[in-house]
Homo-oligomer: A and B are copies of this chain.
């Protein structure tokens, strides 16, 4: 009799294959689950492998559309960024995968969820916080934190030996000296040789972008249309228009890929209070984020933007990074994002070239807060320059007191 029914996040790799077999050998029934969030994968082969190893079932769910529409577009709408650099590619996919896995578990009467994440990283936190919110009574088996499991598997050799014993097929391709996580938004690279933060990532590492140095010698022009802060149309150089969410995002990816746009290499602070070095290539989101940010300059009220920048962008980004997607505070913040984006309508003309993307013009028919007449230094039709005098004088009242106090203290501000 089965000890219990486990729903395992299964990728087909050595780690999760080992976990699958370990669970079966230990008496559990295992339903495998793999979310398609846009990664490159031989789906049929993964299924074949899972079943060959003894999984009761292998469920593969296409999550691309909900990933892009529900999470990635929200990231674009709030210009999400972590520690000023990281566009959150991995973090964005986790909630969608975690939710799908809970659904699969529920449909298949599994009361235990399992994953192959390491015990030091952010991903275990993201999966498990999501699971506990989604299914508060769920049980979790995290092998890389399980004393028995980690005693048994102390290094890659133990895994290989176990694979041999248990007929787990091992890829003949030598393992890259770093680990990767890929989805439609980005590919991340960390660990291995990248653990030295002064070791430059080799050129063959990057998967979703070509090298800026190999990119075409002429810029590529295109236009993105936004409605309520969401990209709704991309028009290419040859006037092709793409509007469907997944297709549109993949087109931005391709533009970014071909022009080497969106590579970063950083040291970041994990939620688990460790510093970690990560490299990421994020072609389409890098482009979409810049276009969105730019359009907001044209159409968004200054003070709404200031408040949004200081609390909504930072909060949402951190919530996603820390795995707090299924939380009341993410709901609270997301409600603000949507409100702020009502007016973000218009189009941004762009150009990608050898590693960079540039805005070369923007316009909006419906929400333009910019007025050439207002802005023009020459026109006084809508402006009384004497008003500036009053504005300055009232703003200066407090500063004059400060200057006077400093003079009284013998430390006038005129001194450097």
Give the bracket for the number of chain A residues in contact with chain B.
Answer: 35 or more
Given contacts A272-B391, A303-B329, 15 further A-B contacts (CB under 8 A): A129-B392, A135-B414, A145-B389, A147-B386, A212-B356, A267-B362, A269-B302, A274-B397, A275-B375, A304-B332, A326-B399, A353-B354, A354-B355, A374-B397, A391-B393
Which residues of B have CB within 8 Å of A301?
A: 327-329, 398, 402
Which residues of B have CB within 8 Å of A360?
A: 200, 265
> A118, A305, A375 — which one has the most chain B CB atoms within 10 A of its CB?
A375
A371 at interface by CB-CB < 8 Å: yes
Tell me the minimal C-beta distance from A147 to chain B in angstroms.
7
Which residues of B have CB within 8 Å of A393?
A: 384, 387, 390-391
Q: Is the CB–CB distance between A297 and B375 below 8 Å?
A: no
* A329 touching B307 in the complex, CB below 8 Å, given contacts A388-B272, A390-B391, A399-B324: yes
Q: How far is the CA of A392 from the CA of B138 in the complex (A)?
A: 14
> A103, A155, A336, A377 — which one has the most chain B CB atoms within 10 A of its CB?
A377
Q: How far is the CA of A268 from the CA of B376 in the complex (A)?
A: 14
Q: Is the CB–CB distance between B120 and A385 below 8 Å?
A: yes
In the complex, the count of this chain's copies comes to 4
Q: How far is the CA of A160 from the CA of B66 in the complex (A)?
A: 59
Q: Is the CB–CB distance between B385 and A145 below 8 Å?
A: yes
A144 at interface by CB-CB < 8 Å: yes
- Contact residue among B79, B213, B276 (Cβ-Cβ distance under 8 Å from A219): B213
Q: Is the CB–CB distance between A375 and B198 below 8 Å?
A: no
Segment at the interface with B among A16-24, A52-60, A189-197, A247-255:
A189-197
A125 at interface by CB-CB < 8 Å: yes
Contact with B along A240-273 (1 / 0, CB 8 A): 0000000000000000000000010111110011
Which residues of B have CB within 8 Å of A367?
A: 405
- Contact residue among B265, B331, B371 (Cβ-Cβ distance under 8 Å from A358): B265
Q: Is the CB–CB distance between A401 and B129 below 8 Å?
A: no
